[in-house]
Amino acid sequence: MSVFPLRLRRSLILNSAAIFGGEAVARCATLFMAVVIARKFGPTALGEYGYALALASVILLVPDFGMHLFAVREISIDARCLPRIFWNIHWLKFLLTGAIALCVAFASAWVIPDSERRILFYFLAARAILQTYSQASMAVFKAFERMHYIAFQQSVNSLVLMLWVTVALMLRADLWTLVSALIAGQAAETFLGWHILRSRFSLGVFAKWNGKLISAVAVASIPIGITTMLQALNLRIDILVLGRFVPNQVLGQFQAVSWLPVGTFVVTSLMIGVLFPRLSRLLSGDSMQGAAYVKGLLKNGLLVTASGSLVLWFAAPMLLIGIFGKSLAPAIPTLRLMTPMLPLVFLNTTLFYVFVAARRRAVYLSTLGVGVALGLGLSSFLTAHYGVTGCALADVAREFTMTAVYLFFLVQQNHARAAGRALLRVFIPTTLLAGLVGLAAFSSRLDSRWCAVWMVLVLSETLLVFGFPRLSEWRFLTDERL
């Protein structure tokens, strides 16, 4: 029988369901907007929207810069510090959002010469500024483990967005009116979060500037902020680079495909976010349980994602045309080239959290830095010479390199050395094939069937090295007593 009280187990289940449900609704609403733009206005408009969205998602991190995670940690330890932490964090937010607003107003014409992209960026930047204040309220809800408030906020946001889009389509409105739905939904989410805060939590009066506390917040948040910035750049660098070399129509086709790695990252992050507390406890020492937990997590996740990537390779035409429409059919070869990213993004995201739990900041910061630097260099070079195909190959090569770096450090550490060695036995036989695919990039006829062969080999090696999935492993991964 579990040593956890029944009430605590129910709380864990409800909080996990709220986080997954809220994020699923929010992500589906964002994907819904992209699908409507692609079907209503075509791949050119989708390319303009995708570039503006990628840039705005990076801009969003500046007024956040790790402060939300800092707030969750401090408030969850001592709830009495809520007013002091909350209001002083907002002093920093006001300064950072003011700086961002000035940059958007005065530097956007130089950074984004395309007027259509620039106008869309203004809309999405406004939404990003609203979103950062909404996330401040979500940080309080997370600290008090009131995740259902977050799900409620995100559901209202998505409902307003979908209603706005439906009315706009009925009235045959233009692209700007359609994209305004994002601002309307975000405004509703932000207002609702602040309303819940004022009515359910003791925020007190607006606190005066506390230089000592604000300095402490800034110092504690900088490493977290750098990490989140590197993660965002790693996910969006392909769109930002590709947008400099190809027209909006081609960029729109790539944008439809780029949901693949972003979606994998989001789903993996949510899953590991639920498991992260027990992962942190298990990796606080050199326990055998911690090593077994990491090994089971990596094994079963790799089997699922490798199988899913293989299915996606075969179903690429049906899925892409079925979701985005026939105008996106030219992106099918690109989607197939990027299917190997599913298992790689899963491994990189999971290993990132493993090293965070093991307090190995230098490992995950250096690996993310290598990924961004390599991605920027490879994407610029290969895109300039081979266009979309080169950009897709640069993405796969970047994720493959990051996986190799993480596995090297995993073998060097004591926490999960056996898992690292086992994964090297999986990926070393595929290194030659990956090299052949890289060399094939210099040919004008790159056959995406190599990707299917690579995934079959990864799946076969995983089963050979780790064995088939076992029910006992899944029970161990979800055991409440850990």
Clarify whether residues 377 and 408 are in a common domain: yes
Clarify whether residues 219 and 325 are in a common domain: no
Contacts with 337 (C-beta within 8 Å, 6 or more apart), sequence order = 389, 392, 393, 396, 446, 448, 451
Clarify whether residues 73 and 188 are in a common domain: yes
Count of structural domains, the chain: 2
Spell 422-435 as b/e; 16+ CB within 10 A means b. Answer: bbbebbeebeeebe
Mean pLDDT confidence for 203-230: 75
Clarify whether residues 237 and 285 are in a common domain: no
Clarify whether residues 452 and 333 are in a common domain: yes
Alpha-helical runs (H) found in 339-360: 341-357
Task: Give Cα 409 to chain centroid, integer Å.
Answer: 23
Q: Is 0.85 surpassed by the pTM of this model?
A: no
Task: From 193, 211, 244, give the residue that closes a domain.
Answer: 244
Mean pLDDT confidence for 459-472: 80
Give the per-residue pLDDT at 420.
82
Clarify whether residues 40 and 106 are in a common domain: yes
Clarify whether residues 317 and 421 are in a common domain: yes
Give the per-residue pLDDT at 1.
37
Give the per-residue pLDDT at 107.
66
Clarify whether residues 260 and 111 are in a common domain: no
The answer to whether residue 188 scores a pLDDT higher than 90 is yes
The amino acid that residue 186 corresponds to is Q
Give the per-residue pLDDT at 347.
92
Pick the more confident residue, 244 or 394.
394
Clarify whether residues 316 and 216 are in a common domain: no
Task: From 244, 278, 303, give the residue that closes a domain.
Answer: 244
Rounded Cα distance between 161 and 156, Å, is: 8
The answer to whether residue 435 scores a pLDDT higher than 60 is no
Clarify whether residues 209 and 294 are in a common domain: no
Lowest-pLDDT range of 19-28, 290-299, 447-456: 19-28
Structural contact between residues 401 and 371, judged by C-beta atoms closer than 8 angstroms: yes
Two tokens, residue 244: 């400099």
Rounded Cα distance between 257 and 252, Å, is: 9
Q: Is 14 helix (H, G, I), strand (E, B) or coil?
A: helix
Task: From 244, 263, 294, give the residue that closes a domain.
Answer: 244
Clarify whether residues 340 and 373 are in a common domain: yes
Q: pLDDT tens across 315-362, in order?
A: 988 888 888 888 888 889 889 988 989 999 999 999 988 888 787 888
Burial, 53: exposed, middle or buried (Cβ in 10 Å; 0-12, 13-18, 19+)? buried
Give the per-residue pLDDT at 2.
40
Query: What confidence tier does 191 reach under pLDDT thresholds 50, 70, 90?
Result: very high
Give the per-residue pLDDT at 346.
93
Mean pLDDT confidence for 287-294: 77
Taking the CB of residue 57, how many other CB atoms lie within 10 A of it?
18
Give the per-residue pLDDT at 15.
59
Clarify whether residues 227 and 282 are in a common domain: no
Q: Side-chain half-sphere of 202: how many Cα atoms within 13 Å? A: 4
Give the per-residue pLDDT at 426.
81
Task: Give Cα 184 to chain centroid, integer Å.
Answer: 23
Dihedral class, residue 359 (left if φ above 0, else alpha if ψ from -120 to 50, else beta): left
Comparing C-alpha atoms, which of 423, 253, 305 is closest to residue 354? Answer: 423
Query: What is the residue range of 474's domain?
Result: 249-482
Contacts with 391 (C-beta within 8 Å, 6 or more apart), sequence order = 238, 241, 242, 254, 379, 382, 383
